Copies of this chain bind each other. A is one copy, B any other.
Amino acid sequence: MLPEKKISTAVIKRLPRYYRYLGDLLENDVVRISSKELSERMKVTASQIRQDLNNFGGFGQQGYGYNVEHLYKEIGKILGLENKYNVIIIGAGNLGQALANYTDFEKRGFIVKGLFDVNPRLVGVEIRGLEIKDIDEIENFVIENNIHIAALTLPKQKAPKVASDLVKAGIKGIWNFAPIDLNLPKDVVVENVHLLDSLMTLSYTISRKEKKKKQQK
């Protein structure tokens, strides 16, 4: 591995997809795969795969292809999945509860340690054995429980204040579902999931296709 090399965002964004495909292959007891086969499944060129993996030293063997389990584990390491991450979810509405119930996260080492909400009717309610706590307790909780990641599933008005409290408490990453961009210090990693943006991208492409169809008539 060459940790000093600057890896492009595009490559990084593709890594989880490699990991997912390799995980599926493993589940189906596939031991090895050629870059050609992998490329056909993933619908990217074999040379793209080789280039991407070469960023991390490359893992293929001429004439053999890739050992699925080895490559899966190596990409897992690159993705930082050999670590466990303690996660809290802030905003215990439907989306927050959905994330808390998503068992696949735990399988990959993302362990939900706490749920928080401002709504007094939700505080005290149990979700998967976790009691929803009052949002005022966040800072202490993050420090005492060594929380690495906070998922923000709360209204956009509340997100900036909560995010800055989290930064004070030493959070490392924020998984932001609130429809707002957070301006945080550079050492805090923010990954956005803007659902409405995604839905608008879909509507853009649909409406473009419809316009084209009409023009062709």
Contact = CB atoms under 8 A, between A and B. Distances in A.
The SS class assigned to the A binding surface is: helix
13 contacts: A12-B201, A12-B204, A16-B196, A80-B203, A83-B207, A94-B94, A94-B97, A95-B95, A95-B98, A97-B98, A108-B200, A172-B206, A189-B205
3 A-B pairs with least C-beta separation: A80-B207, A94-B98, A16-B197
Interface residues of A, number: 63
A105 B202 CA distance: 13
Contacts of A12: 201, 204-205
A94 B139 CA distance: 27
Given A3-B215, A19-B200, 13 more contacts: A3-B211, A15-B200, A17-B181, A17-B194, A78-B204, A83-B207, A94-B94, A102-B195, A104-B179, A108-B199, A110-B203, A189-B205, A191-B202
